Amino acid sequence: MSDQNLTDLASDGIALLRNEPVQARSTARLASLLDAAAAIIDEIGYERLTTAMVAERAGASIGTVYRYFPDRIVVLQSLSARSLGEFVEGTRATVLDSVHATWLDALEACIVAMTTAFRSLPGFRSLRLGDVLDVRPTLTAQSGSTVVAAAAATAISERFGLPIEELAHRLEVVIVVSDSLLSRAFTYDSNGDSKLIDEAMMISRAYLTGFYGDPRSS
């Protein structure tokens, strides 16, 4: 994924705001509101989030919240866009990290990173890649899983030479399956059900090596 595409992705949430932050103080205030929303979502889920809760948790007035967010849906979209942008950048960095000797090592590291996000990234367990929200992004019709898969496919193809044809589609299958299993793994256990986590890894590995072979066996 190009730097421009990443910029567009990061802008999805900001484009919905009443006032785009232009000063460092405003940017910090916006970040604190989103951080507050993420903390609340961790506690009660995104369905019950209100703008009043965000204001109270952030120590801000309700007017400050409405200065940036016209309603709670835009809070959720903006938080999801921020999380997705960070996840895309992290996925690309993981794939390109020289510590991973094969594309399979890199893929497994990405699944570990997703598991870590479920476990410790505020708000991620509920919002995940944003695909659980009923509303669609305004600047792109792509789902979060599609965006992540495209970034991962480009990076894997660049570094390891896998043919780009169908790669993004197959990686999206892996992301969707892993997301479903990990979501279930963390539904009742904040540390995650280890059996379901292991199944997500095993299924992803078996699915992709069926197409591209096991690079660690050659």
pTM of the model: 0.83
Q: Lowest-confidence range among 111-115, 134-138, 154-158, 207-211?
A: 134-138
39-63 tens-digit pLDDT = 999 999 999 999 999 999 999 999 9
SS3 call for 199: helix
The answer as to whether 165 is a domain residue is: yes
pLDDT at 1 over 90: no
Judged on CB neighbours under 10 Å (0-12, 13-18, 19+), 64 is middle
Domain that holds residue 179: 3-15+77-212
Closest to 189 (Cα-Cα) out of 125, 109, 104: 125
Task: Flag whether pLDDT at 181 surpasses 90.
Answer: yes
Structure tokens belonging to residue 119:
């476990």
Domain count, the chain: 1
CA–CA gap between residue 20 and residue 68 (Å, rounded): 7
SS3 label, residue 185: helix
pLDDT of 6 strictly over 70? no
CATH number at residue 195: 1.10.357.10
11 or 181: which leads in pLDDT? 181
Residue 92 in any domain: the answer is yes
For the beta carbon of residue 133, count every other beta carbon within 10 angstroms: 17
